[in-house]
């Protein structure tokens, strides 16, 4: 059976065809007498709304993805997408109001299910694919100074600063850097404050329901911002370097921060026609455990490693037995793809990051 149809059949079942004779034990409907009207039943159309459905593949592997919406045993939407590493596919689907089951399956073996309750406060659903599973988030994007469906308080009365901030000429990228407030726990109210030097850019409270991801576009300007999020349970304060971290994520349920579900694969490749002995050290962001290994690489040999488990800035140091060496920061943050350490045909070693680079 083709993989494009498998999930739909599993989700909705296979229905038999009607209208081919009368089954045993049933009687045919009598013909109405002349002058009487035959009873008719007009089906009530199901109320539907248009919503966004985003499929995100932050893994280093291409995946073929099928996603199905199921309501009362029937498919209400069905989408197939081939996603390259790092790709985000934004779709528009027609969804019944109320609760719809969402099933996701990939050709890499991921199978996941969630309930999507259509809520007027949200713009859609985001499905984030991992190597072993998938995460589901209801999403909304808010203007930090304008109306927002999840705003719990009016904007402050201080001097108005138009957002997103315009660039300063030192860097250029195509989408504004922003902050995402997400909540994997019970509904809460969070106060978000964003400052750049002495200027307060955002100071506002938001209602953050369970499974919500609130995105706020902030700036095209390089700099180190300060982000603070406060709830009844905790206060989180963190530095946000832009454009190195295009998006700062804050989970209000755990207090953790990061730059998104970036893949953590590092490829080490020897493109020289001579074998090399390569020493690699990776110090994870936030002072986690270091990865320290020496590899014997044959000519044209490449290996995939996963030296870290979290996204963020990782310090990388590399040296060869010849004395050639390099070091740098591996920013494992979307929209960047996998990074690589490459020995070229001249015996020079370099650290490279795949995907679009801000700046």
Q: Say if domain 142-258 classifies as CATH 1.10.10.60.
A: no
Which residue spans within 149-305 are E strands per DSSP?
177-183, 188-196, 199-208, 212-219, 223-230, 235-242, 247-251, 257-258, 266-270, 276-283, 291-297, 302-305
For residue 17, is pLDDT > 80? no
What pLDDT shows up at residue 29? 41
Residue 189: is its pLDDT beyond 50? yes
Q: Report the DSSP beta bridge partners of residue 182.
A: 213, 251
How many CB atoms within 10 Å of residue 85? Answer: 17
- Bridge partners for 343 per DSSP: 270, 349
Cβ contact 297:276 at 8 Å: yes
pLDDT at 15: 36
Nearest to 58 by CA among 15, 110, 19: 110
Residue range 273-297: mean pLDDT, rounded: 92
Which CATH number does 48-138 carry?
Answer: 2.60.40.4150
In whole angstroms, give the CA distance from residue 173 to residue 87.
17
Contact partners, residue 52, CB within 8 Å, separation at least 6: 90, 91, 92, 93, 123, 124, 125, 139
pLDDT per residue over 221-258, tens digit each? 999 999 999 999 999 999 999 988 999 999 999 999 99
Contact 112, 66 (CB under 8 A): no
pLDDT for 292 equals 96
* Per-residue confidence (pLDDT) for residue 159, from 0 to 100: 59
Contact 158, 200 (CB under 8 A): yes
Q: CB within 8 A of 289, min separation 6: which ones? A: none
Give me the mean pLDDT over the 138-149 stretch. Answer: 87
**Residue (of 92, 102, 190) closest to 142 by Cα position:** 190
Tell which wins on pLDDT, 273 or 155: 273
Residue 24: pLDDT above 90? no
Using pLDDT thresholds of 50, 70 and 90, give the confidence band for residue 359: very low
Assess whether pLDDT exceeds 80 at residue 173.
no
43 secondary structure, DSSP code:
P
Predicted confidence band of residue 38 (pLDDT cuts 50, 70, 90): low
Q: Using alpha carbons, list the distances in angstroms from residue 320 to 80, 186, 349.
A: 45, 51, 8
pLDDT of residue 4: 46
The structure tokens listed for 146 are 């304008």
pLDDT of residue 154: 59
Exposure class string for 27-38: b at 16+ Cβ within 10 A, else e: eeeeeeeeeeee
Which of 312, 320, 359 shows the shortest CA–CA distance to 339? 312
Model pLDDT, residue 357:
53
Other CB atoms within 10 A of residue 257 CB: 20
* End-to-end C-alpha distance for the chain, whole angstroms: 47
Query: Chain-wide mean pLDDT for the chain?
Result: 85
Pairing of strands 48-56, 124-129: parallel
Question: Looking at per-residue confidence, does 160 or 133 come out higher?
Answer: 133
Among 30-34, 255-259, 275-279, 350-354, which is the least confidently predicted range?
30-34
pLDDT at 318: 98
Site of tokens 């901030």: 165
Query: How confident is the model at residue 59, as a pLDDT?
Result: 87
> Which of these, 37, 101, 115, lies nearest to 73 by C-alpha position?
101
Is the CB of residue 354 less than 8 Å from the CB of residue 321? no
73 in helix, strand or coil? coil
Is beta strand 177-183 parallel, antiparallel or unpaired with respect to 247-251?
parallel
Distance CA(330)–CA(318), nearest Å, equals: 12
Region 315-336 average pLDDT: 93
φ and ψ at residue 107, rounded to 5 degrees: -75, 0
Say yes or no to pLDDT of 3 above 70. no
- Looking at residues 347-351, what average pLDDT do you find? 96
DSSP track, 97-138: SSEEEEEEEETTS-EEEEEEE--TT--EEEEEE-SS-EEEEE
CATH dotted code for 266-354: 2.60.40
- Those residues whose C-beta lies under 8 Å from the C-beta of residue 22, and which sit 6 or more positions away, are 28
Domains 48-138 and 142-258 share a fold: yes
- Write down the domain spans for the chain: 48-138, 142-258, 266-354
pLDDT digits (tens, 9 = 90+) for 57-112: 998 889 999 999 999 989 999 999 999 988 999 999 999 998 999 999 999 999 99
Q: What is the pLDDT of residue 54?
A: 97
Question: Could you give the maximum distance between any two Cα atoms of the chain, in Å?
Answer: 102
- Predicted confidence band of residue 262 (pLDDT cuts 50, 70, 90): confident
Q: What is the pLDDT of residue 155?
A: 54
In which band, very low, low, confident or very high, does the pLDDT at 37 lie, cut at 50, 70 and 90?
low
């Amino acid at each position: 059976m083709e993989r494009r149809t498998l999930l739909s059949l599993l989700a909705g079942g296979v229905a038999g065809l009607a209208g081919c004779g009368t089954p045993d034990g049933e009687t045919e409907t009598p013909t109405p007498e002349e002058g009487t009207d035959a009873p008719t039943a007009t089906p009530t159309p199901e109320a539907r709304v248009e919503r966004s459905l985003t499929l995100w593949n932050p893994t280093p592997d291409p995946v073929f993805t099928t996603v199905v919406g199921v309501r009362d045993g029937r498919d209400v939407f069905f989408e197939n997408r081939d996603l390259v590493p790092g790709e985000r596919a934004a779709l528009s689907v027609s969804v019944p109001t109320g609760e719809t089951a969402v099933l996701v399956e990939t050709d890499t073996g991921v199978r996941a299910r969630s309930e999507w309750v259509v809520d007027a406060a949200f713009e859609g659903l985001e499905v984030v694919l991992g190597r072993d599973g998938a995460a589901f988030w209801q999403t909304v994007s808010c203007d930090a100074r304008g109306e927002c469906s999840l705003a719990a308080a009016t904007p402050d009365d201080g001097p108005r600063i138009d957002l997103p901030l315009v660039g300063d000429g030192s860097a250029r990228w195509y989408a504004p850097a922003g902050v995402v407030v997400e909540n994997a726990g019970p509904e809460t109210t969070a106060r978000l404050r964003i400052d750049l030097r002495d200027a307060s850019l955002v100071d506002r409270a938001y209602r953050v329901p369970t499974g919500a991801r609130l995105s706020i576009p902030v700036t095209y300007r390089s700099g180190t911002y300060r982000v603070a999020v406060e709830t009844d349970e905790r206060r989180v304060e963190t530095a946000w370097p832009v454009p190195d971290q295009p998006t700062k994520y804050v989970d209000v349920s755990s207090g953790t921060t990061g730059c998104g579900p970036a893949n953590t694969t590092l490829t080490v490749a020897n493109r020289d026609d001579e074998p090399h002995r390569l020493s690699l050290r990776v110090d994870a962001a936030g002072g986690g455990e270091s990865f320290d290994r020496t590899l014997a690489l044959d000519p044209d040999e490449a290996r995939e490693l996963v030296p870290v488990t979290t996204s963020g800035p990782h310090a990388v140091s590399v040296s060869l037995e010849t004395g050639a060496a390099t070091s740098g920061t591996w920013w494992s943050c979307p929209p960047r793809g996998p990074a690589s350490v490459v020995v070229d045909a001249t015996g020079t070693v370099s650290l490279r990051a795949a995907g679009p680079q801000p700046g």
